[in-house]
Amino acid sequence: MSRDYEYRILDIGKDGTGDYHVNRYSILFYPKAGESIESIEKDFKNNFAGYFNGTGQHKNVLQPGIKNIAEVVVNGECFKEKDVYAFTLEDTRVHTDYVSEIATYPGKEKPGFAFATLRRVDLKANRMMDEGRRLNGRTQGGLSRWIADNLLESNENHVLAGRRSWLIAKCEAIQEKDIYFLDGSAPGAQKKYKPFAPGEACLIQTAAIERYSGLVPIGMGWLLGDRELVDRIWSNQLVNFVKMKKYKHWSRSLKVFYDRTDHLSWNEDGEASSGIADAIFSDKRSFDVGKKQSMYKDAWVNSLVAAHPALKSQFSDWK
């Protein structure tokens, strides 16, 4: 790594600002003959950027994906011996977000992994600011220093403080209520989906618990419509996974596994087509910063973190 930069994890409690945002996106699919859960997860992880970008080329890709509105690359740097991934939005490219692996879920039932958001500290810029203050013969203070420090920190930080997790599992390895309520209906509500026969289908799922990393990212998020961006970016990656590998995927409207993927696309307004809306199960919740305990007690959230333990372990007081 360049000596002008260093990384540190953005702590959701200390570095986060505002409400807690929880979201989950899933697709049910049929694996190919002879594929194991471990081999599917390994392929997804090893080709993470290709499935995210929709432009990956490797032996397991059978057809092109959908170009994402963001792009990720492995930037050649490491944090705690793990690759650092750099994300940029296609239309702006004025800011880069960095993440790195924080946890893995080994085993044959629900293999997966989790990323933590990072701060990429610009040591050179910080040294220049400190030197400028020294040459001025005084320590710059007040509003001007607060603005300068916040702008520098916001540029260094991922816009979010928290973690995102992925898993792949046979439906029999997911709790029954997770299969019934992938559509977001609350536990205890009328069951809308029949359980799948053991071993018939697999699930790929990503989930996150995160907050903004400062006041500037809150403003950026409001301007860019970040909640819709999050929906599209992560739905796009899962859709690309089944599309590029030509997996049959579950149709929520037809209640069958559908073997066509040409209907998976975005319309001109950037909204999910009926195909994507039919394939993706999604749900999201927000919890007031002053009501963190209500998040800890929420049945849906507890179901989510049971499958994605790295999301829970970032909270030291969540027992």
CA distance 143 to 257: 59
Q: Is 14 helix (H, G, I), strand (E, B) or coil?
A: coil
Sequence letter at residue 46: N
Predicted pLDDT of residue 283: 85
Lowest mean pLDDT among 20-24, 73-77, 166-170, 186-190: 186-190
Work out the pLDDT band at 220, boundaries 50, 70, 90: low
Q: How far apart are CA 131 and CA 186, in angstroms?
A: 56
Q: To the nearest 10°, report the CA torsion of 37, 191, 241, 47.
A: -50
φ, ψ for residue 174, nearest 5 deg:
-100, 140
Measure the CA dihedral 253/258/260/265, to 10°.
Answer: 40
User: Closest by alpha carbon to 123, among 152, 101, 90, 150?
Assistant: 152
- The separation between CA 230 and the C-alpha centre of its own chain, rounded to angstroms, equals 8
Question: pLDDT tens for residues 51-76?
Answer: 999 887 777 777 888 888 899 999 89
pLDDT confidence band for 221 (50 / 70 / 90): low
The closest alpha carbon to 259, from 273, 243, 272, 270, belongs to 243
Q: Reduced to 3 states, what is the DSSP secondary structure of residue 280? A: coil
Average pLDDT of the residues in 207-221: 80
Angle at 104 between CA 99 and CA 106, to 5 degrees: 160
Q: CA–CA separation, 104 vs 203, rounded Å?
A: 17
**Is pLDDT at 86 greater than 90 in this prediction?**
yes
List Cα–Cα distances, 100 to 165, 205, 219, 224, 288, in angstroms.
11, 18, 25, 24, 27
Q: If pLDDT is split at 50, 70 and 90, which confidence band does 41 have? A: very high
Given this model, what pLDDT does residue 317 score?
94
Lowest mean pLDDT among 212-216, 258-262, 272-276: 272-276
Q: What is the pLDDT of residue 277?
A: 73
Please work out, in degrees rounded to the nearest 5, the angle formed at the alpha carbon of residue 281 by the alpha carbons of 187 and 33.
110
pLDDT of 12 above 90? yes
From residue 3, alpha-carbon distances to 6, 199, 249 in Å are 7, 50, 46
- pLDDT tens figures, 120-160: 886 665 555 555 555 555 555 555 555 555 555 667 888 89
pLDDT at 120: 86
Q: Average the pLDDT over each of 77-91, 152-166, 201-215 and give the range with the smallest value.
A: 152-166
Q: Would you state the pLDDT for residue 95? A: 84
Residues 6+ apart with CB under 8 A from 168: 37, 40, 41, 44, 110, 111, 112, 202, 203, 204, 205
CB 293 within 8 A of CB 26: no
Nearest to 165 by CA among 216, 215, 99: 99
Percentage of residues of the chain with pLDDT beyond 90: 38
Higher pLDDT, 251 or 17: 17
Q: Is the predicted pLDDT of residue 196 greater than 70, yes or no?
A: no
Region of poorest pLDDT, from 22-36, 85-99, 129-143, 289-303:
129-143
From residue 199, alpha-carbon distances to 170, 175, 205, 274, 291 in Å are 6, 14, 17, 28, 39
Query: E strand or H helix at 156, and its extent?
Result: helix 142-156
190 or 274, which is more confident?
274
Please give the model's pTM, rounded to 2 decimal places: 0.83
300 pLDDT band, cuts 50/70/90, is: confident
Q: Which residue would you say has higher pLDDT here, 221 or 60?
A: 60
Quick one: average pLDDT of 197-213?
84
